[in-house]
Structure 1
Amino acid sequence: MSQPENPTLKEVEDLTNGICAEYEPTVIRLEATLTELLKNQEVVIDSLEEENRRFTEVELESQQLEAMVRNHTLSYEDLTNGICAEYEPTVIRLEATLTELLKNQEVVIDSLEEENRRFTEVELESQQLEAMVEKTKFYIAKLSTIKKDMVSLQDRASRLRKRAVKLQGAKQKEAQQKEKEAERERMLLAKMTRSTSGKLSEDQGT
């Protein structure tokens, strides 16, 4: 089974840039979603405050109408119709506001769930990146050790080469010296041979 290739620094850098590129749009979308949520909540709060003010006004008018009934200046039917006429538009607006709020909240919840899923994916990629970085650090340290060993071996090899050159020079010098001695011996032997031959010739002539 083949071992997976070790990541290079360029691959780690590319992966980092890729994760950052994936992470940044997610953060931007999340900020936009939260900003929109806050804006919608402010609108809803303003609407609810306005409706509360209207309810207060209607409540005061209702109290006035009830007082008129007690004073026999207004019938119960007129009171009922008046209260309904005052309350109904406010209730309708309030229901519409709350419906819009619920709809916006559902959209925001869906958006937040989607962003949470994206963050989970980014977190997994970050863990993978962290593992690759740690693995890369290990191999960088290992390469540094190998480099030191190679430098040491290179120094030893250089010293051995110098020693070999020195020995070779010494051997060549020794060989040359032996060659000179052998040549001297040959010349001496030849001289002695000529001398002996000359003496024999003289003896024979006599």
Structure 2
Amino acid sequence: MAIPTVDFDVRGMLDAQQTLELLELSPAKRRRLLNNVVKRVRTRNRKRISEQRNVDGSVFEARKKGGKRKMLRGLGKTLQVVSLSADEAVLGWKNRLVARIAADHQHGRPEKMSAARMRRLGKTPDYNAPATKQQARALLKEGYRVRNGKRWKRPSLGWIQANLTCGRAGLILTKLAGDTKKTRWQIELPARSVLGADTQDVREITKTILQQTLNAPQ
């Protein structure tokens, strides 16, 4: 599965006259020009991810379980120039794990997850936090009951969240379901354009920065 990147060769973005003007610049200036182009494209990708939109302007497909928290924010923050020369540049991710996650989202492939990987990504749940609404619903679905005097009754979602921690709810749910705790699982991901660039947009950015470079004091 290909790791998503945006590869730049500004020579293909300009007309004949502009290409000649570009080639007359020193390698250091061409490298600086290309770096500025890539950084502007990076800024636009970060903004688009923040707005939760694909490259074509459509909205990211929502999470299956709902929730209003923005998706893929970490991928936008860690997006960077991974290689740069006087003629070519690549925008992507240097961290191999993050790059692989980006690829999973870009292509809509299932993402394999494990407890160890969650810890590396800083996603270990806070077991002392209140039980989540999803945990409460799952407990009730499995027939969870609490003692009320001499009887057992079905608690409310609110009661579970107020009286059980995330860790405690997870243990009870595991026992009720009769399952051993999963150490590996798979997350189905819809395709979301984590990284991309409109060719015409990049061409206009390149032309603008080239003109600024040519007009700059020597």
Q: TM-score range by the shorter chain?
A: under 0.3
Whichever structure has more helix as a proportion of its residues is: 1
Whichever structure has more strand as a proportion of its residues is: 2
Question: Max radius of gyration: which structure?
Answer: 1
In the superposition, the TM-score normalised over structure 2's length comes to: 0.23
